[in-house]
Amino acid sequence: MSSRIRKKESSAGGGAPWLTTLCDLMQLLLTFFVLLFSMSNVDAEKFANVTTSIQEAFIGFQAGPSLIESYNSSDVPTIQGGSIIDQGMAIQISPEILQMYEKIGEFITENELQSDVDVRYDDKGVFVDIKDMILFDTGSAKLKDTGIDVLGKLEGLINDFDNDIVVEGHTDNIPINVEQYPTNWELSTARAVSVVRYLSEVEKIDPKRLSARGYGEYNPIATNDSAQNRALNRRVNLFIVFDNKGGN
């Protein structure tokens, strides 16, 4: 009898050990689901700022906008390690592409080209975006002296790699209608060809490595709803192609 009484007294001092563990587990699960909920409502601007800070901390340079800035706010991807998580699909980024991106960024910084050139990447290679106002006058495909100067500096970078280079011309969505360039297709293609010819004929880049594409206004990196965004879309890319068969 006395033993029974002692049992009851001891049990009144607290709950069973498993109950404490269960409570801790429920608190952790609640915290986890609150975290998931908060991540599902991402502020694109804050997210871009965070990724830019991480980029500077780990890569150690500022070379134009981060990858996040090349997407609309509704399409902001998540970067985890060497992968881009975009719309539920993981796109693996090769370590060689990341190394190439870092090397190009260092080159841009060392040559003080940050105001004229941006750098970004995807799973196919690295893009060196040159602002069109540096290369060409409005409605023209003739290289300006400032554009020749920038391309001359980039020649040293291009020759650091053996990769193929695709020169891509882009415009904003404002129509052009002149005799020489009836649409933005012709203008963007003519600009890409002008850069290809300069690199091969003047800078002596192997022409077998070079090709030209014109996208007109149909491959923007920003919405064409303001003068600032239209300026971002007017550009010429030097797309350094990553070939995972031949390397770089």
pLDDT-based confidence at 23, cuts 50/70/90?
confident
Predicted confidence (pLDDT) per residue in 78-102, tens digit: 444 444 444 445 578 899 999 999 9
d(CA 187, CA 234): 11
Q: Which residue has the higher pLDDT, 95 or 77?
A: 95
Q: How far apart are CA 218 and CA 215, in angstroms?
A: 6
Question: What is the pLDDT of the chain when averaged over all its residues?
Answer: 78
* Whole-number pLDDT of residue 58: 44
Which tokens go with 154? 């980039």
Residue predicted with more confidence, 104 or 1: 104
* 56 pLDDT more than 90: no
What are the start-end ranges of the H helices in the chain?
A: 2-11, 17-39, 44-59, 95-110, 132-135, 145-158, 184-201, 227-233
Question: So what's the pLDDT on residue 243?
Answer: 81
Q: How much is the average pLDDT of 13-22?
A: 67
pLDDT at 37: 57
Residue 68: pLDDT band (50, 70, 90) is very low
Are 242 and 248 in contact by the 8 Å Cβ rule? The answer is: yes
Q: What percent of the chain has pLDDT above 90?
A: 58
CA–CA separation, 216 and 169 (whole Å) = 7
Local confidence band at 29 (pLDDT 50, 70, 90 cut-offs) = confident
Helix axes 95-110, 145-158, angle to 10 degrees: 140
The residue with greater pLDDT, 61 or 200, is 200
* Mean of pLDDT values over 237-243: 94
* Residue 164 scores a pLDDT above 70: yes
Write down the pLDDT at residue 77.
43
pLDDT value for 230: 95
Only one residue has tokens 């690295």, namely 126
Burial 76-114 (b: 16+ CB within 10 A, else e): bbebeeeebeeeeeeeebbeebeebbbebbebbeeeebe
What mean pLDDT comes out for the span 213-233? Answer: 95
pLDDT digits (tens, 9 = 90+) for 167-221: 999 999 999 988 899 999 999 999 999 999 999 999 999 999 999 999 999 999 9
User: What residue type is assigned to position 39 of the chain?
Assistant: M
| pLDDT in the model for residue 59 | 44
